[in-house]
Every structure is written in structure tokens, then in C-alpha cells.
Amino acid sequence: MSFFRGQVVKTLPSFYMKGEKLSDYIISLQGVSKEFDTKDGKVTALKDINLDIEHGDAYGIIGLSGAGKSTLVRTINLLEQPTEGRVVFDEKVLTGLKNKDLNISRRKISMIFQQFNLLMQRDAIGNVCFPLEIAGYPKEKALKKARELLEVVDLEDRANSYPSQLSGGQKQRVAIARALASDPEVILCDEATSALDPKTTRSILELLKKINEERGITLVVITHEMEVIKQLCNKVAVIENGQIVERGDVQEIFKYPKTQAARRLFLPIAENTEVDERGKISTRHRLRLVFDGRSAYEPIISRMIMELQAPVNFLYANMDVIGDQQKGQMVICLADDPVIAEKQKEFLRNADVDITEIIVDEGEEV
């Protein structure tokens, strides 16, 4: 099943056979669980998470507030120590490393945050130098590298500005330059654009995409916004109540979301019961059509209406750019008469339109 493409264990090239290889992935979470002790008892934030991330992936992790996204990403660099399971990064089991060795591995896993977390008492270039200082870089070399990185993020003219003098977007650019300073294998992004306006969000996402594509740096992108996944990621995992309920290629999941959680995130509001109460439309015959940006769907639909002499209701139509592909989706409601509805479906299938029937569970929450 193409859906699980990302999960198939690749056969190892022969030169890896010399030593035992822990994992073929840059990051591998194996049976990771996390419980927090709180005054109100135990809170289970993560339940038996297994997640493999390949070199060069832009791996999105999406879910509603409280689902466990931040906890999940924070276990990767052990800001959060898992209660169970292990974290493998670049063939090293991070869980179980001594502090000193963990700190060395952490230099290869950068992180950017929703609140930027810059040092307020250091200027932009000082912030970018910080990870280099920690790693014991000579000062001159660090400054030179920091200057180059500020150019990468288009802030060379603000090198001596302090964070308090920069806008949110500029602060996040400084944070990205800082994240790049240690030549990381991975950048973890926890809601990196959630504090920014849409335009700034787009430019930061573009910058991250460029970093992912041009430098081959793996991204782990935590977000509650579908748009971020669409623009930036090639893979996605949907997390709900501390568990990954669905995962795979972004394109695939967009086309065929399987779980309720994924559908809630990927599909437009139009398919929720709200609409059909308002429009008194049958809930049983709703279809979601997904098509390439290029394919002409409107003529097909109008031909169908004319040929079958039966109406359809348009509930939703939208064009999306996912990765570099244009994708359209439309939700329509077929005729009430089941016989005619069946004919309509038949017609669409024959016309080679990708259709998914939307089953609305009784009493399903919106």
C-alpha cells in the first residue's frame, strides 16, 4: 500500500553490514511514552510512539492543542526524558547517554520555537555566535560564520540590533540563523510560525523549505495548522491524545485521509453536519473529489448534471498548493434518490475522477 511507503524498512547497503546498525533513519522514536506527574495525578502525554524520520525529510506533526506535539518533539532532543522507550539519533541511542555526550549530540539537533527564545542581552550576531561559543569555536571564526548566516536569512544589515529592536519575523530569522550555526543534521520547529502574521509565516516557511532542500537538513515541523504542512512537508503524522493515528506522504493523506482525526484536519468544514442541517441535504451521498490542478473537472460535473438530469449541490471547492503540486478538492452532495445517486457515482468513476465517499457518523462532533 503506497500509504505506508515511508514506513518500509529499506534494505541496507552492504557497507553498513560491518557494524550493527541501530537504525537507518536520522531519527527513530521506538516505543516512546511520556507520563507527567501532576498534582491531579498522572497525565499521559505520549503513548507508545514509534516514528521514523528519514534523512532530508520535512516531517510534519499535526494535531489539536494538547495532543502531545510539543512533548513529542521535545523527546527528540531529550528536553523531555521519555518514561519509556528509546530515542535514536544518527545511530546513537540518546536515551541513556551521559550528559556530556548528550550535549555533543544535541549540537547536531537545532531547535526553533514559537517564542523565538533569543538572548535578549545579545545582539543578532551575538545570538548566532552563541551555539558556536558553546562548542568552543574561536571568536573570529564564529563571527565570520555568524555574519554569513545572517546573510542567508537576509538580516546582514541588522547584525547589531538587539532582539527588542526586531520584529517577530526578524527574530525568527535570527533564530533560524542561530539554528544553522552548528551545522545541524536536524532542525526541530515547534510552532515556529504560530506567533507570526500570514505573510511573515509564508516567508519563514519559504526560508525553511529552502534550508531543507538546499542544505538537506531534516526538518521536524510541529504545527496545528494544515497550511504549514501543505507548504513545507513531504511527510506528516497526525497525533491525537498522545498517539500517532495516521501517517504517510502528505499527498497521500491529503487525498485519502483515513482517520477521523486526519479528516477533521484535512477536510473543509463543508462536510460537517452543520452544513446539511442548514441546507437540508442528505448526509448519505456526499462525495469528496480530489483532482490535479490541471484536470478540468467543471465540464465533467456539468455534463453529469445534464446527462442524468439530476442536481448536485456544491458544498465546497478549493484549490491548494501542496508541496509543489496544485491540488483541487471539491465536496458535492448527490441527489437524494439513491438510484440516481448511484448513477452519479458511476458517472464520476467512469470519468476517472478521484472520489471518496464521505461517511458521516451519527452524532459525530463537528
Partner 1 sequence: MDTAVLISMLWEGLLETLYMTLIGTLVSYLLGLPIGVSLIVTGPNGIKPAPLYNKVVGFIVNVVRSVPFLILMIALMPYIRKIIGTGIGTRATTAALIVAATPFVARMVEQSLLEVEAGVIEAAQAMGASNVQIIRKVLLVEARPSLLNGAAVATITILGYSAMAGALGGGGLGSIAIRYGLHRFQPAIMWITVIVLVILVQVLQEIGVKIANKMDNRLN
Ligand X SMILES: Nc1ncnc2c1ncn2[C@@H]1O[C@H](COP(=O)(O)OP(=O)(O)OP(=O)(O)O)[C@@H](O)[C@H]1O
What is the spatial distance between Cα 155 and Cα 118, in angstroms, rounded to a whole number? 15
**Residues in 94-123 that interact with partner 1 by CB under 8 A:** 99-100, 102-107, 109-111, 113, 115, 117-123
Give me the least distance between CB of 85 and ligand X, in Å please. Answer: 16
Which one, 165 or 259, has the nearer CB to ligand X?
Answer: 259
Which grid coordinates are listed for 320? 491548494
Q: Which is nearer to partner 1, 220 or 270 (CB)?
A: 220
Residue with cell 526586531: 166
DSSP helix/strand/coil, 158: helix
Bridge partners of residue 223, in order along the sequence: 62
**Looking at the chain, which runs of residues are DSSP E strands?**
27-38, 41-53, 58-62, 84-89, 92-93, 109-113, 186-190, 218-223, 235-240, 243-249, 286-292, 313-322, 325-333, 354-358
Q: What does the per-residue mask of binding to partner 1 show for 53-82, with x meaning CB under 8 A?
A: ------------------------x-x---
C-beta of 16 vs 36, nearer to ligand X: 36
Length of the chain: 366
Stretch of 9-17, 70-78, 92-100, 104-112 lying at the interface with Mg ion (CB under 5 A)? 70-78
Q: Nearest distance from residue 150's CB to partner 1, in Å?
A: 17
Cβ nearer to Mg ion, comparing 73 with 128:
73
Q: Strand pairing partners for 355?
A: 289
Q: Which DSSP string do the residues of 82-125 spell out, in sequence order?
A: -SEEEEEETTEE-TT--HHHHHHHHTTEEEEETT----TTS-HH
Contact letters (x/-) for ligand X, 34-73, by CB under 6 A? Answer: --x-x----x-x-----------------x-xxxxxxx--
Cell of residue 147, nine digits: 555574519
- Could you say which of partner 1, Mg ion, ligand X, none residue 269 binds, taking C-beta under 5 to 8 angstroms by partner kind? none
Q: Give me the residues that bind partner 1 (CB under 8 A), please.
A: 77, 79, 99-100, 102-107, 109-111, 113, 115, 117-123, 130-131, 133-135, 162-165, 182, 188
Q: Give me the residues that bind Mg ion (CB under 5 A), please.
A: 70
